[in-house]
């Protein structure tokens, strides 16, 4: 059940939401009210496997597949593109409203199926690190203004992982797979092991067909696939097209001819993903980890350090914050800096706020190209539960 179950709860929750929105609007964010019902296909494409499985999806009488919004970031992106088709017009929005997620462990007061988010989204700001710092600082200001003290932070940077994989020698398709599977830890480890032990493992695919495929001849590959399907009696009813099957098999055929990923390269990737350290010690630690492998992450690490400095100048101390290299795996639209804010009363499994950078999302929603974007939200019910009795 949601936290607001009595008139007093509802009144306190409404008062808290208004207080948060006052902080956001005074900081220059425009208040908006995105639609609760959203097109399901768009959400299921961009939010990632973990949240996709928790989204409430339904079909209306006209046959359209819709969903109850599982968050308010994607609806805000849609609203922005309705106003600015190119997407790159700078804008800042704030909102307060319900989101809906299935809770596999069962709903409780800290994890209801329907809950409120009060959040901010910033689009088109050219200085990414400065905007990251400003968004985090405003969220912290709102939490403190509401009466919450003793904040704890966890941060990550998905851009550093991307930079690492881009710097390592491997086929581009392997880079794409590792980035794609990063969001699924078990699948990521399996893919890394497969590339290291021999990407030519056919995973049950027809070896006699793979041996005949030429990665340099996609047209001939489709003809061979059709020939194989005819001879083996397989039909394409309700399955992928012959062209799609051929593309997948061509990648497998190319992998069979590829030298496996060196064990030391895989060890570096595994070592990076496993990094957990105080935020202020991360730069030196990651530089040491990668330097021995001839990998230069200085540009990404400089941006990371500059962001920390700007956060400090904004009045937010990250002295006790933890950096986790694998943090950020629950929403696939994040591309860079990510953070969570915890309250001691609720613990690390129930963060009161969180957010991050998602420079690719507006393009996935319909913009003409990538647009710098960062946002964050406060889980209003959790904040109310974490406040001292006298607040707000």
Instruction: Give the start-to-end residue ranges of the domains of the chain.
Output: 7-151+343-386, 154-199+261-320+328-333, 200-257
Residue 232: name the closest of 240, 224, 243 by CA. Answer: 224
Residues 6+ apart with CB under 8 A from 350: 110, 111, 342, 379, 382
User: Whole-angstrom Cα distance, residue 54 to residue 59?
Assistant: 16
Q: What is the rounded average pLDDT of the residues 320-344?
A: 90
* Listed ranges 49-53, 142-146, 213-217; the one with the highest mean pLDDT: 142-146
Question: What is the pLDDT at residue 199?
Answer: 52
Task: Supply the DSSP string of 152-179, one letter for each residue.
Answer: EEEEEEHHHHHHHHHHS-S-HHHHHHHH
Answer yes or no: are the C-beta atoms of 312 and 318 closer than 8 Å: yes
Which of 43-47, 130-134, 311-315, 375-379 is least confident?
43-47
> How distant, in Å, are the alpha carbons of 123, 244, 249 from that of 208?
51, 19, 12
Question: What is the pLDDT at residue 68?
Answer: 95
What is the band of 328 on the pLDDT scale with cuts at 50, 70, 90?
Answer: confident
Answer yes or no: are the C-beta atoms of 300 and 306 closer than 8 Å: no
Residue 335 has pLDDT above 70, yes or no: yes
Residue 89 has pLDDT above 60, yes or no: yes
Tokens of 375: 């946002």
Of the two residues 274 and 206, the one the predictor is more confident about is 274
Which pLDDT tens digit goes with each residue over 155-211?
A: 999 999 999 999 999 988 889 889 988 888 888 999 899 899 865 444 455 665 556
Residue 45: name the closest of 59, 32, 60, 57 by CA. Answer: 57
Residue 348 has pLDDT above 90, yes or no: no
Which pLDDT tens digit goes with each residue over 222-269?
A: 566 566 656 665 555 445 565 666 566 656 655 666 788 999 999 999
Residue 154 has pLDDT above 80, yes or no: yes
What is the band of 330 on the pLDDT scale with cuts at 50, 70, 90?
Answer: confident
Residues 6+ apart with CB under 8 A from 282: 275, 304, 323
Answer yes or no: are the C-beta atoms of 77 and 104 closer than 8 Å: no
Q: Which DSSP helix (H) or strand (E) runs through 252?
A: helix 242-256
Tokens of 171: 């086929």
Residue 308 has pLDDT above 90, yes or no: yes
pLDDT-above-90 percentage for the chain: 61
> How distant, in Å, are the alpha carbons of 94, 115, 162, 389 from that of 146?
17, 18, 37, 12
HSE-CB for 244 with a 13 A CA cutoff? 5
Question: What is the pLDDT at residue 197?
Answer: 83
Entry pTM: 0.84
Residue 275 has pLDDT above 70, yes or no: yes
Answer yes or no: are the C-beta atoms of 115 and 98 closer than 8 Å: yes
Q: What is the rounded average pLDDT of the residues 258-287?
A: 92
Question: What is the pLDDT at residue 83?
Answer: 96
Residue 139 has pLDDT above 60, yes or no: yes
Answer yes or no: are the C-beta atoms of 181 and 187 closer than 8 Å: yes
CATH architecture for segment(s) 7-151+343-386: 2-Layer Sandwich (3.30)
Average pLDDT, the chain: 86
User: Whole-angstrom Cα distance, residue 305 to residue 24?
Assistant: 26
Q: What is the rounded average pLDDT of the residues 284-299?
A: 90
Question: What is the pLDDT at residue 42?
Answer: 86
Answer yes or no: are the C-beta atoms of 135 and 309 closer than 8 Å: no
Residue 142 has pLDDT above 90, yes or no: yes
HSE-CB for 171 with a 13 A CA cutoff? 16
Of the two residues 259 and 79, the one the predictor is more confident about is 79
Which pLDDT tens digit goes with each residue over 25-70?
A: 999 999 999 999 999 988 888 877 777 888 999 999 999 999 999 9
Which of 77-86, 237-246, 362-371 is least confident?
237-246
Q: What is the rounded average pLDDT of the residues 63-84?
A: 95
């Amino acid at each position: 059940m949601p936290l607001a179950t009595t008139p007093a709860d509802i009144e306190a929750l409404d008062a808290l939401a208004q207080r948060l929105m006052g902080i956001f609007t005074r900081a220059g964010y425009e208040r908006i009210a995105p639609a609760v019902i959203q097109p399901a296909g768009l959400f299921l494409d961009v939010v990632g496997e973990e949240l996709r499985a928790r989204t409430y999806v339904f079909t209306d009488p006209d046959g359209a597949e819709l969903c109850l919004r599982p968050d308010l970031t994607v609806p805000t992106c849609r609203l922005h593109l309705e106003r600015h088709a190119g997407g790159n017009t700078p804008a800042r929005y704030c909102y307060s409203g319900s989101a809906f997620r299935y809770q596999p462990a069962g709903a409780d007061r800290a994890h209801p199926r329907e809950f409120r988010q009060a959040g901010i989204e910033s689009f088109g700001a050219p200085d990414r690190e400065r905007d990251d710092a400003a968004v985090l600082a405003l969220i912290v200001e709102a939490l403190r203004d509401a009466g919450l003290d003793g904040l704890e932070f966890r941060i990550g940077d998905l851009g550093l992982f991307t930079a690492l994989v881009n710097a390592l020698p491997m086929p581009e398709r392997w880079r794409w797979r590792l980035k794609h599977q990063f969001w699924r830890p078990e699948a990521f480890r399996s893919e890394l092991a497969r590339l290291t032990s021999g990407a030519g493992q056919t995973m049950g695919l027809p070896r006699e067909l793979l041996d005949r495929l030429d990665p340099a001849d996609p047209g001939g590959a489709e003809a061979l696939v059709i020939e194989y399907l005819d001879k083996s009696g397989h039909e394409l009813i309700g399955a992928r097209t012959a062209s799609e099957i051929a593309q997948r098999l061509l990648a497998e055929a190319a992998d069979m001819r590829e030298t496996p990923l060196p064990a030391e390269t895989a060890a570096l990737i595994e070592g990076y993903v496993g990094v957990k350290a105080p935020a202020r010690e991360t730069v030196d630690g990651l530089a040491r980890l990668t330097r021995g492998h001839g990998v230069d992450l200085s540009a990404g690490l400089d941006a990371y350090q500059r962001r920390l400095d700007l956060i400090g100048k904004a009045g937010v101390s990250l002295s006790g914050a933890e950096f986790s290299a694998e943090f950020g795996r629950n929403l696939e639209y994040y591309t860079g800096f990510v953070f969570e804010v915890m309250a001691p009363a609720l613990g690390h499994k129930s963060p009161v706020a969180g957010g991050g950078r998602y420079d690719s999302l507006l393009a996935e929603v319909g913009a003409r190209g990538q647009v710098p974007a960062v946002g964050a939200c406060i889980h209003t019910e959790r904040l109310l539960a974490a406040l001292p009795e006298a607040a707000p």
